[in-house]
Every structure is written in C-alpha cells, then in structure tokens.
Amino acid sequence: MESDQSQAIAELWKMIFGFIKPISLKCALDLGILDEISNHGQPMTLSQLHSALSLPHSKKSHLYRLMRILSHFGLIHEQTCPSEGSEIMYDLTPTSLLLTNKEGPLNLLPFILFQLDVLKDIMLKAYLCMGDWFKQEDKDKQTPFEMAHNCSFWAMTGQNSKLNEMFNNAMISSCSIFTDVIIKSGGNIFMGIESLVDVGGGPGTLAKSIAMHYPHVKCTVLDLPHVVQGFQNDDIVKFVSGDMFNFIPPADAVLLKWILHCWDDEDCIKILKLCKEAISSTETGGKVIIMEAVVGYTSANVSEEPLLLFDMVMLTSTTGVERDEQDWKSLFNRAGFSSYNIVHTVGFMSIIEVYP
C-alpha cells in the first residue's frame, strides 16, 4: 500500500511538472545545444559543450543539470568515455536529429519552434481557461482560445502577420511528414489518378513532391487568397484562390491533409460534400484522400499519448477533434460517401481513401 501511494504521488508530480518538458526543449534550442553537438560531429564532454556555448563559468554545474533532464526526456544520449577520464559525453538521439538536420527530408524545427513560441505567448492562457470554458455554453465561446483571446485562432493568424508567417512555416515543415508517408506508400494511392487538388495546400510543398514522384498526376493547390497570393503557376503545380467551404475544383482526387481535425463534424461534412461534388464531376469518378490520425491506429512501438495530447490542442484552439474509425465512418456516411479504406502508415498517421 505504501509503495502504491508513493507511485501515486510520483504520478501527480509528473503531471503538474510536465510543462518542464517543452520549457527544457526551448532552453536547449535557445542556447543552441543541439546545433553545437551536431556541428561538433561527435559526442561532446560537458566541458567542451560549456566552452562552445560561451556560458559563464558559474553556469557549468547548472548546464549539467539541464543536460541530465534532456537525457531523461530522450533528447540527448549520455555515455561515459574512458579516454576522457570517464567523463560523461553527450550525443544526439533520433529525436534531436529531427531538429538539427535542417537540409534533411524531415526537418521539424519550424513546427516545434512555432508550438513553443505560441505556448509562451498565446496558448498557455488558453489552456488555463479550459476549466472555465467547460462550464459555459458553446454559444458563448466556441473554444478556450476564444475565451482567452476574444477571437478564434484563425482570426488571430489572419490579423497577426508574424503569427501567420510562423504558422505557415510550421505547416510547411510538417509537410515533410506527409511527404515521407506518401513516398513510403509506394504510390498505390495514385494509381489511376491523373489530377489532384490539395485543399489548404499553402505554397504547394506537398503537391510539388507528389508531382515530382508521380509525374502523371497534375496537381492543383486550393487555398485562401492571402495564402496563395504571390505563388506562380508552373508546369508542376497550379494555384487556385478560394475557400474550401464554398468551392473545390474538379479533379480525380481531392487531398485533405491535417484539415478535418481542425473542424467540428458539421463543418467537416460541408467540406466532404464539396469534395464529393468535385470528384463526381470527373468522367470516371474518383476519391478523397485524407491524411490524418485515426485514434486506435498506431504503430506497435509508438505511444498513443502524443495523439491524445494533440486532441487537447484541437479542443483548446479549434472546434476540431482527433477521431477514431467510428467517428470517421459517421462523417463519411453523413456526407453521402459509399465506402472507405484506412491504410495505417507510420507512427499515428493514416491514409484514408474515401469513395463516392
């Protein structure tokens, strides 16, 4: 009983001090710790790292404590080197490599920096409003974000050019995840498809990757006027200015990546019905390709916790939700689709093919 109580206390401590994880990550990025280790090309001792960071001598012992918690979180790998007098040495892990390999296919640094910056300046206030929001009728404020800031997240990005730029860079960064999924899918989802519309495709990062890997697919990007202005049509991607709630250009396939989880069921049904009209206008009929998480579909070695945490982000900042298969099935049926197929890819990302 005593050990059970001790474990319960420890779990409570983990919960209330869980905010230390992103704070420690932000500190590591602010100091340039990961870049210094990456640039060094091999593991670094504490003394080498302290010197490279040009920190005051009085901070060396504190740097050790920061490195210890970063190691515990899996961002840094600790090892002992006998040739250095058994001094601890620090190296990068697969997790931290995603934040340092800026020219690699998976560079998530802009996405992580956006999340950390909005946590400090914007999102923390919204998260702390969650309890009060639950007590209010939805008609008052649709999200905790609106309760905290008196406007929606989307309205704020539209009004704040710096926030909008950071958000767009974060979305471009996250496209590397979808590109990786598309390439590893082997191209089966594009068999028989000659045209595709990427809804909310921004600067066309993913659409261009699809066009390069599958040249038979003519790609179009649909996004809001302020997003696509300045982007030029070329032989690879065509840009169309518009609102996905009003019109989606006809194509063999409509691609929705990380779109529907931002909206409630009624808005999703509106979008899906327009997608159905778009693909039904083609000669052969087509499909909607949805790239989203499906709660309950994760790789065996990947925790579902990040997905559940992401669901709380959706609850706080949007009217959306991370859905399980029954939720998705209900949306598709209500939007008038006949069938669907879920292909789990990597981590907690799935490709859902929906047919009219």
Query: Is the distance from CB of 354 to CB of 294 less than 8 angstroms?
Result: no
- AA identity, residue 296: G
Rounded CA-CA distance 295/273 in Å is 23
pLDDT of residue 281: 65
Domains and CATH numbers, the chain: 2-97 (1.10.10.10), 109-355 (3.40.50.150)
Query: 162 Cβ partners below 8 Å, 6+ apart?
Result: none
Q: Which of 57, 226, 261, 344 is catalytic?
A: 261
Nearest to 191 by CA among 260, 287, 257, 107: 287
pLDDT of residue 2: 65
pLDDT of residue 235: 81
Nearest to 59 by CA among 47, 74, 69, 71: 47
Compute how many other C-beta atoms are within 10 angstroms of the C-beta atom of residue 287.
Answer: 23
pLDDT of residue 105: 63
pLDDT of residue 284: 63
pLDDT of residue 326: 95
Rounded CA-CA distance 125/131 in Å is 12
Q: 3-state class of 192 per DSSP?
A: coil
Q: 3-state class of 185 per DSSP?
A: coil
Active site includes 261? Answer: yes
The pTM score is: 0.86
Q: 3-state class of 119 per DSSP?
A: helix
Q: 3-state class of 81 per DSSP?
A: strand
Q: What is the mean pLDDT of each run of 10 residues along the chain (356 residues)?
A: 80 89 94 95 93 95 96 92 76 92 74 88 91 82 90 89 85 79 74 92 88 90 86 87 94 94 95 94 78 82 83 93 95 95 81 92
